[in-house]
Structure formats: structure tokens, C-alpha cells
Chain A
Amino acid sequence: MDGTPATAGDDTWEVAGRRFRSRLIVGTGRYKSLEETAAAIAASGAEIVTVAVRRVNLSDPKAPMLQDYVSPKDYTYLPNTAGCHTASEAVRTLRLAREAGGWNLVKLEVLGPPPYLYPDMEGTLEAAKALIADGFEVMVYCADDPVAAKKLEDMGCVAIMPLGAPIGSGLGLTNPFMINAIKKQCRVPVLVDAGIGTASDAARAMELGCDAVLLNSAIAHAKDPVRMAIAMKAAVEAGRNAFLAGRMPWNYQADASSPMTGLIR
């Protein structure tokens, strides 16, 4: 599936010319089974799912594949470069992904070493340049660094995806100010990618004005992934509505909600 046509008045968002209604992108990793993966993703309402590219198990070639449970006919596959620590590994991986699936829209991530797997921006910039030159549409995982984000946007990346916190950490938005700063300067969509731990984190990212949220472990590692998927769907919608509604000002004193006139004496 490749997005759906929008009708006037819909609150949709667009990336690389494709339009989506759901502002939640979910990963397909770390689930107990492919059945659980399929159920949680369906419950999340996501239209885009991230997938990894790995060697086929030659000793079990008929093993069930992700595509049998989460069909590329129903979801837009966003191949990632998880596990890549150099630009050349990332480019090689996504060329294979493009051949396997025929998709140009990809998620680039070039990671630094454990324990933080923090985005390696030098490698990320190098890979983004090579991928864009090769015809890819690059959604890029990056540091919460407005300078690097601007370089990636100017280079032609189709979405800027700063981390909320390290991958799989569940720490939430550790630097909301910088996420907001990146959102304010970008013309392409900005997504918080990585670090979301629970529903309020996703809502907060959307309240900051992000176009969408990308998460995986927060659902997959919840005790009840399907229920957390439902929570995330609602949180992203709630956060988006709160952003559009425009929150009331912060006021460091009381301002009574009930009329102060007509009180009984």
C-alpha cells in the first residue's frame, strides 16, 4: 500500500508525495511471534511499518516470513538500516531492500557504538548523500541537533527523525526543546524516532508539533502489546489534536474557572 488519496479537511500528512492518515509509524521487531506482530500493528492503526533487511536462513528456507503476516499490500514498508555503523553498510543494505521490495522510501540510520547507539552524524550525512544521488527517498534518523538536521534537509532528505532518547531505552523525550527547535526550522516532516516509552511520551511529541511518531519497543516490550498499540494510537491522535487546538497559556497563579459573581452570602 502506498498511502491513500486525501479528501479536503482531513488532517493528513505527506512524505515524499505519499499521503497518510495515521501519524504513528511502528516497527515490526522484538515481538514474541509473527502473530503478535500482526495483531499489535493492526491495533496501532499504523499505515507505515519499519522492517529490517537480514540474511535468509539457508537451513530453513520455508520458515514463515514477515511479509506473510504483515503484508506489503496492506502497509507501506519502510526498510531500515538498523545495525549499520558505516555509510557503506547502510547504502549496501538499502540497495538490497530496494531490490527485495521495489521501494525507494527508506529509513536511514547510521549508528555509533553501544551502549547508546547514538546516531553517527558524519556517517549519516555521507550515506544520505549517496542514497539521494542513487534515487532513494530518505527518511533519516538523526541526533537532536538542529544544525545537522538542517544539513540533512538541505541535502534532500524527505523527513527528519531526531531521537527522543536512545533506541529501545523508553526514556521518552529527553530534550523536548531541541525537538521543537528542529520542527520549527524544517519544511519537511519531523518525526520523533526512538526513545518513546509510553503513551504520554508519544502525545508529548505530537504536542510539540511533530508530524508523526515512530516507535517499536514501547509496544513490543509492553506486557500487553496489543493494548499498548491501542494506547499509542489514541495518544498520537490526542497529542495531534492538542497541538492543533493550541494549548492555553502557562499561568503561574490561579485563575478561577467559575464566575466570581452571584455567590450566596
Chain B
Amino acid sequence: MPDRIAITVNGQAREVAPGATVAALLSAIGLDVRKVAVERNEEIVPRSTYAEVALAPGDRLEIVHFIGGG
């Protein structure tokens, strides 16, 4: 088992511990889970499942929020 696994978050390479969940990733980044949404490999990750969804090598995540727009 490797020490770290490689994933991509918002287009940036990142490493997380094997078995790390989406909740752990958001916490490590320092984001308020109530204000963001997460997509993993182009599938929505429901907020209620953040603590259960484990990240896998090569996962591509998008973490978004609302900003000003017209």
C-alpha cells in the first residue's frame, strides 16, 4: 500500500492518504462543507456521503462554490 495516492483537485495535482474520504480532503483544504459542492470524476458527490466516499488514485475532483455572476 503506498503512503500517498495522487489525485487532481480543481485541475491541480494533490496527494492524500490512502483511504482518505471527501470529508477528509475538504477538511484538509479548510473548506466549509455547507458552501461548496463536489464532483468526482464528473459525478456529483452528495454532501450526505462525504464521510463515506473514499478517494481513489487518479480521481479528478471539482470543488465549486457560488460567486458573483450575471
Contacts and interface: CB of A to CB of B under 8 A. Distances in A.
Given A65-B66, A80-B69, A58 B29 contact: yes
B68 A51 contact: yes
Interface in A36-57: 37, 50-56
Interface in A58-76: 58, 61-62, 65-67
B68 A52 contact: yes
Interface stretch (A3-11, A23-31, A225-233, A248-256): A23-31
A85 to B, nearest CB: 15
Given A58-B9, A65-B35, A96 B64 contact: yes
Interface centre among B62, B63, B65 (most CB of A within 10 A): B65
B39 A96 contact: yes
Contact of B12 (A30, A58, A100): A58
Given A58-B9, A100-B37, A66 B68 contact: yes
A82 B10 contact: no
Contacts of A34: 68
Nearest to B39: A96
B31 A66 contact: no
Interface residues of A, number: 37
Contacts of B47: 99
A52 B67 CA distance: 5
A101 B37 CA distance: 8
A123 interface: no
Nearest to B26: A61
Most buried by A among B30, B44, B64, B68: B68
Contacts of A194: 70
Interface in B47-70: 47, 62-70
Contacts of A92: 39, 42
Contact of B66 (A27, A58, A62, A100): A100
Interface in A147-174: 167-168
A101 to B, nearest CB: 7
A29 B68 CA distance: 4
Interface of B: 9-12, 29-31, 35-39, 42, 44-47, 62-70
Interface of A: 27-31, 34, 37, 50-56, 58, 61-62, 65-67, 77, 79-80, 82, 92, 95-97, 99-101, 167-168, 194, 215-217
19 contacts: A27-B69, A29-B67, A29-B69, A29-B70, A51-B69, A53-B66, A54-B64, A54-B67, A56-B31, A61-B29, A61-B30, A66-B66, A77-B66, A82-B69, A92-B42, A95-B44, A96-B39, A100-B64, A100-B65
